[in-house]
Amino acid sequence: MRKAMYLAVLIGLFVAYGDVYAQEEAVEFYNRGVEALAQDRLDDAINLFSKAVKIDPVDHYAYNNLGVAYKRKGNYEKAIQNYTRALEIKPDYYAAQINRGIARFRKGDYDQALEDLESLARQRKKDAAVFATLGLIYKEKGDFDKAVKNLKDAIAMNKNGIVAQKALGEVYEANKDYGKALDVYLKLRTTLAKKGETGDIDKRIDRLRNSYVSELYNQGLEDYRLGNAKHALAIWATGLKLDPNNLQILRDRGLTYYRLGQYQKALDDFNHAVEIGPGQAEIYRVRGDTYYKLKKADKAVDDYRKAIEMNPSDAICYNNLGLVFHETGDLDRALEDYSKAISIDPSNPSFYENRALVYLAKHDNIHAAEDYKLALNLTDDQKAREIISQKIASLTGQAGLNPDLPVPEPNAASVNQRGGSVRGTRPGW
């Protein structure tokens, strides 16, 4: 009897010591697996964690880390299986649930991922990874409002969160909210610069800035066409803050200032435009128009001549140059330039009216009448036709008026032709 009892005690001790040894071996495999995972030796980590759970099949930590190794290898199915096993052992294991949610997202199982992560979002309010992944899921599902909300929450919890910042910028960009997207990317660049990892963010910012400025330009142009010039100016000011050398905006904002009578502001924009685009003939022409309005005839003439050198077929530029000479009393040059404008574009009635004024100043009523008749044939507007007809009648004596009336000053029609030159610099103006 005593012999049997002694044998039973020995067997019990052997089993106990065997369990302790096995547990120590499982811990050894686990610790080596953690080391391999930290060194990104994923195959070794998978082998070691698998040995650990074979010895200790209720080690939820080992199953979770085995899932992490599989996830890093891109085997999301295996990763999800191991995370699920960890949660079967310990249902409230937070790390396994968030990891499973992320793995499901990477696998494309968005609804199941939402089940994991929405549950965690309700439990813990300060985990940026949860909200960032939720934002990514809603982004993929096309629910931009929820994507923005969750990504903003993630960034509020971790201001240096690269994934959330990038995703938020992409959501705004997809919605063509380029201003907000650009703000996010600029902040992201600051975050990356701290780590010395700007990557391709500069190219992304440049591309987006160009898109945004282009959108602002078109938006301002549309506002202008709808009669809201002040709003157009405000929008273009935003565009120029992002791209101070944008030639389109400088030109069209200058044209808008010109039409509003703010000639100095127009001149400032045209001066800047000439600096960055010295080969643009139209910029010299509209700057010449502006100098004319500012009573700087010499500078207007210089700009018109430069414009003509670059574009000898610019009829409006010849017309405007003729107007400057006309108003400064150089009638021969005015006549020459008006005639050149007509030779280039014989379909513009204002050119004939302007040349008629020169003939009147030279007391050549016959040629003046001929030009008015040509202008009349090219004019459709009834009111304008009546005015021209009265001038013809005056010159031919049909209205009983003296054909030798004092030479008229350039009338509103001729001055407005300069405005027409500004409008004609670009389709839509």
| pLDDT score for 22 | 65
pLDDT of residue 256: 97
Give me the DSSP letters along 314-359. -HHHHHHHHHHHHHTT-HHHHHHHHHHHHHH-TT-HHHHHHHHHHH
Predicted confidence at residue 26, as pLDDT, reads 87
Extents of the domains making up the chain = 1-124, 317-429
In this structure, the chain runs to a length of: 429
Distance between CA atoms of 422 and 287, rounded to whole angstroms? 10
pTM exceeding the 0.75 threshold for the entire prediction: no
Does domain 317-429 fall under CATH 3.40.50.2300? My reply is no
The CATH number given to 1-124 is: 1.25.40.10
Which of 48, 21, 50 is closest to 34 using CA atoms? 48
Per-10-residue mean pLDDT, the chain, length 429: 47 48 84 94 95 93 95 96 96 94 95 93 83 94 95 92 93 91 91 82 90 94 96 96 95 96 97 91 95 96 96 96 95 97 96 96 95 96 95 76 36 31 29
> Do residues 131 and 125 touch, judged by C-beta distance below 8 A?
no
Domains 1-124 and 317-429 share a fold: yes
**pLDDT at residue 125 in the model:** 62
Q: CA-to-CA distance for 163 and 133, rounded, in angstroms?
A: 9
Q: What dihedral do alpha carbons 326, 327, 329, 331 form, nearest 10°?
A: 10
pLDDT score, position 33: 93
Q: What gap in Å lies between CA 102 and CA 116, rounded to an integer? A: 9
